[in-house]
Amino acid sequence: MSNAYIQEHIQYRYLFSRVLAGLVALGIGHGTVVGQWPQWGGPDRNFTIKTAELAPEWPATGPKVLWQRTLGTGYSAAVVDDGKLFTMYRKSKQDVYEYTIALDAATGQTLWQKRNMAAVPRETADHGKEFSGPNATPLIVGDRLYTLGRNAALNCYNKSDGKILWHKKLKREFGAQIETCGYSCSPINYGNAIIVPVGRDESGKREGESLLAFEQDTGDIVWKSQTFKICHASPILIKVGGEDQYVLCTKEGVIGVNPSDGELLWELAIPEEQFQGAFTSPVWDGIDTLYCASREYGFGIKLSRSEGKTVPEQLWSSRSTPLGMGTPVLVGDMLVGARRGTTLDTPVIGVDLKTGERLWHKRVFPQAVTLGAGGKLIILDYQGNLGLATATREDMTVHSQCQVTEQWSFTVPTLVGATLYVRDEKQIMALDLGRS
């Protein structure tokens, strides 16, 4: 999920084989190296990792705290590789600067920090000021770190020392569309390019420039294409019939694009009354079915091949299954995530991916975000309650739960091995979820 949804809603590897498996799952290649948790959603961008290192339950006092420290406000998730953790924050909601910070993943000590001007516009509505970001999650590619701030400033840093290698002001240079709570789409890499949706500004004059690909080393334009308005949702990469596709929710529906050149491969329009924009990333089952969620509806979409082309078909839509609090995780053929709602008391729900049928719901974790790990679910709700659970089509069983942070824990955690990195509006911490 894009954490900016919550903002609007409340007011509103080790071995080569493991790396290769991650590349195949992402449908990417061309020398790209996948790290431990290098991007939004983890190695495969689906908030799920394979691990056998987790303890089956925790002590009553909760998992061991390895370290914790003050950070600041913001909704950027942590990315981790080579023993370093990277994220973004503001020192306060009123701060005119955003900070990109590198921490020692084992100790939490600061390795380097850079600041960028990212003032919240005075004309922004109250909830835009209250939830001022930053929202997007950084991206690690090799020895570089890419970040996108609230004001759609794209920066490329040297991962080791924070030296800025190039930057682009997407609003000024390309008319990037910035929502009330700020820009939110987390970048993605393909081949030698960083692909970024910029949408259209209010003038709507920039035809064919809503999607941009930048050369990773220099920031030069590789290609630009399409015309659409963006949502808060971050894109994914999938493979359909052997073809790599970049999939993105726009304000009009869902599109699939060739990540090599920006060519439109398919699009599925969804009526405006149902699809007022998406906040969570699409979920792909690796075979033929996508799940997307808008503010009010959940959608199942089948992608089939005919005469060498991808053909989208809406399988179902349901107003009872908009799993929009965080990108849901896939457990077999079942989606597990938190339902979007108009109150803070929203349940975790199991949904059949193929039919949209609601299988069960639990009100144990309000406004929760989820991770899948080794057949288990790690759940964090907005009150800072952390849970370990197992989900089947019949029910969800909670094995352990405890309070680990204060309220307003809306950022999805990051899991590397058995270490879970969690942040709220004030601090960040590392927890040991491993077997003792």
pLDDT of residue 44: 95
Q: How far apart are CA 79 and CA 262, in angstroms?
A: 27
Q: What percent of the chain has pLDDT over 90?
A: 71
Q: What global pTM score does this model have?
A: 0.90
Fold designation for 4-432: Methylamine Dehydrogenase; Chain H (2.130.10)
Report yes or no: 332 and 390 within 8 Å, Cβ to Cβ. no
pLDDT the model gives residue 23:
34
Better-predicted residue by pLDDT, 53 or 306: 306
Question: Between the CA of residue 187 and those of 95, 211, 252, 338, 415, what are the distances in Å?
Answer: 24, 11, 21, 24, 20
Residue 14: the pLDDT is 29
Tens digit of pLDDT for each residue in 336-376? 999 766 556 789 999 999 999 999 999 899 889 999 999 99
**Interval 298-304 mean pLDDT:** 96
Report pLDDT digits (tens) over 156-201: 999 999 999 999 999 999 999 988 888 999 999 999 999 999 998 7
| Mean of pLDDT values over 17-36 | 39
Which residues make beta-bridge pairs with 312?
303
| Angle, alpha carbons 321-41-247 (nearest 5°) | 70
Please tell me the predicted confidence (pLDDT) of residue 12: 35
Encode pLDDT of 374-419 as tens digits. Answer: 999 999 999 999 999 999 999 999 999 999 998 789 899 999 999 9
pLDDT of residue 200: 85
78-104 pLDDT per residue, tens: 999 999 999 999 998 888 999 999 999
Range 422-428 average pLDDT = 94
DSSP readout, 316-383? EEETT----SSPPEEETTEEEEEPP-SSS---EEEEETTT--EEEEE-SSTT-EEEEETTEEEEE-TT
| Domain range list for the chain | 4-432
As given in the structure block, the two tokens for residue 83 are: 């023993």
What is the Rg, in whole angstroms, of the alpha carbon atoms belonging to the chain? 20
Residue-level pLDDT at 26 = 36
**Residue 93 per-residue DSSP state:** T
Q: What is the mean pLDDT of the chain?
A: 88
| Residue partners of 307: CB distance under 8 A and separation at least 6 | none
| pLDDT tier at 123, thresholds 50, 70, 90 | low
Percent of the chain predicted with pLDDT > 70:
88
Q: What pLDDT score does 5 carry?
A: 39
